[in-house]
Amino acid sequence: MEIVLNLAPLLNFFSLPADEMFRRIILYYGWMIPAVIFLYGAGCVWLAWRRRLFFSKQKFVLLAIDVPRANEQTPKALENMLCYLAGAHGTINLIETYWEGKFQLGFSFEIVGIDGYIQFLVRTPVAFRSLVETAIYSQYPDAEIAEVDDYVNTVPSTFPDPDFDMWGAEFIPVQMEPEFKQALPIKTYKDFEYQLGRPEFHFKDPMAPLMDLMSSLRPGEQIWYQLLILPVAADWSKIGKPAIDNVLGIKPKDDPTIVDRFFEWFLELMSQFSEMIYSLWGNIEDKPAKEEKKEINMLNLLPVQKKQIEAIQEKISKMGYGVKLRMIYVSRREVMNKPKAVNGFVGFIKQFNANDLNALKPDTKVTQTSSNYFYKLSQIIRKKNKVIRAYKDRDDTAGRKLWYLNVEEIASLWHFPIETVVKAPLIQKTTSKKMEPPMALPVEDSLASDLALDDLFNLDDESVDEQPAEAPASSESSAPSVATESHQAPPPSNLPGIND
């Protein structure tokens, strides 16, 4: 069987002048470019509409968490809790994505300081409320959780305002672009552990500066700290390979565009065609052997390279989340102290910076409520309205795109302070420390003992009156009290729901 290939049209096309070739390509195939752009734009508009419809049907709840009294749990407990919360991640198929508009819902871990009063909060979809409560109680059995009204509704949503002023920003990694540089970790709570001194001071809790800052707020001042976390698939760790290559000086390949893929396909097609022609002519030459890759000797690496590679491998070995970090300082104009609040919070964040790994900084270019050049006032007002609206909506699409942290890094940035280390007086705590019932308490005794217990706990008013007015005090017979009265300062009136 003889195969005949007519290459005359192709050869005639390539023999034309360059301008004529370009004109014919535009004439025959130029309509494809605007068509692809139109279809892409229409798809984005459709997807945004379907997502808005899906999000409008979702219900959320804000949970206030009272810190367990005499808490001795390290941030490792919160790390375990975050691993459990990763169960909220789900797989979404194409029909759910493009028809139902479904997307992954996340959580908002928040700390609010109002007039010196401090409250830890978690905002969660109603569907995941039991998941959040189980995660908290599994690590902090003595914690108390209550549903509260949203505190963000106590301040204006638009600025300028005659009574209030604000400062806000997102905090982003210094090594954020390209994406693989996010594999470099920040400092975690393990870097705040020491071996010197008394055992109770071996851990210097990084939450202490933030607790002291929020406790020192005057009436009319508020600091909001928000950490949005979005469960992601386990393949987020793929950023580790190009990050290690970057440390070793191996240039990563850029993701090919549509044009690059077309030309690669065309060149591959021409290469296969040429090989077929050569095989018919019988003039196949041996291809040169590929150069062997040079092996990397770890002993020849610099200390900083070894440290970075080990840190990257340690980070991607743990579970991760897509993260967005925001801070808002809002206050009445007459008591506003921006240098104290803003610089104090930036100092809290800088504790987690490592110059040879990664660091966090305010996003001065996009979201921070400041401007350096023309139309400064209008730009600042626009940024204020954007950042406070994004905070109130807990919007993970506004501002900068999500970046990656593992559970250890998140637990370092947000955890319940250890009471032996942090002495902030107005942190909301549980009213008493819960204890197990005594071993001598009967549970399955005879009917007589049950009746005796009923008589003991169901005294009427007459039997109470018959008791002597005063009982002799005896240190031997008096039983210790299980729950002591709390002297906790009452929360401010502008934090709704706490006193309900």
The verdict on residue 79 lying in a domain is yes
DSSP of 428-482, one letter per residue?
Answer: -B-SS---PPPTTS-SS--HHHHHHHHHHH---HHHHHTS-S-----TTTPPPPS
| H-only helix segments in 229-302 | 240-247, 258-281
Q: What are phi and psi of 23, to 5 degrees?
A: -65, -40
Would you say residue 269 lies in a domain?
Answer: no
Whether 161 and 196 share a structural domain: yes
Q: Which of 393, 413, 433 is the last residue of a domain?
A: 413
Judge whether 86 lies within some domain. yes
355: in domain? yes
Q: How far apart are CA 190 and CA 272, in angstroms?
A: 56
Count structural domains, the chain.
Answer: 2
| C-alpha span between 172 and 183 (Å, rounded) | 13
Burial (CB count <10 Å: 0-12, 13-18, 19+), residue 82: buried
Say if residue 232 is in the same domain as residue 131: yes
Mean pLDDT split into 10-residue runs, the chain, 500 residues: 70 80 82 88 92 92 86 87 94 90 95 94 96 93 92 93 95 92 94 71 85 93 96 92 90 65 70 65 49 60 91 95 96 94 96 94 93 86 95 93 96 87 61 50 45 43 42 38 43 54
- Is 156 a member of any domain? yes
What does the pLDDT read at residue 28?
A: 81
Domain encompassing residue 41: 11-57
The whole-model pTM stands at 0.76
What are the distances in angstroms from CA 245 to CA 14, 184, 241, 299, 304?
Answer: 41, 12, 6, 16, 14
Residue partners of 50: CB distance under 8 A and separation at least 6? 98, 99, 100, 101
Let me know whether 153 and 52 are in one domain: no
The DSSP letter of residue 282 is: T
Q: What is the distance between the alpha carbons of residues 136 and 120, in angstroms, rounded to a whole number? A: 12
Q: Return the sign of the alpha-carbon dihedral for residues 347, 352, 356, 359.
A: negative
Same domain, 130 and 74: yes
Q: Which long-range contacts (CB under 8 A, 24 or more apart) does 77-80 make?
A: 77/139, 77/140, 77/415, 78/139, 78/410, 78/411, 78/414, 78/415, 78/416, 79/407, 79/408, 79/410, 79/411, 80/138, 80/139
Give the pLDDT confidence score for residue 180 in this predicted structure.
92
Please check whether residue 164 lies inside any domain of the structure. Answer: yes
| Domain edge (last residue) among 413, 445, 473 | 413
Please check whether residues 226 and 90 belong to one and the same domain.
yes
Domain boundary among 37, 57, 77: 57
- How far apart CA 398 and CA 169 sit, in angstroms, is 12
Do residue 186 and residue 321 come from a single domain? yes
Per-residue pLDDT at 447: 40
At residue 204, the pLDDT reads 86
125 shares its domain with 190 = yes
Residue 363 and residue 238 share a domain: yes
* 75 and 24 housed in the same domain: no
Strand segments, DSSP code E, in 73-163 are 107-114, 117-125, 144-147
* 190 and 48 together in one domain: no
Considering the domain boundaries, does residue 114 fall inside one? yes
- The answer to whether residues 305 and 372 belong to one domain is yes
Query: Do 223 and 183 belong together in one domain?
Result: yes
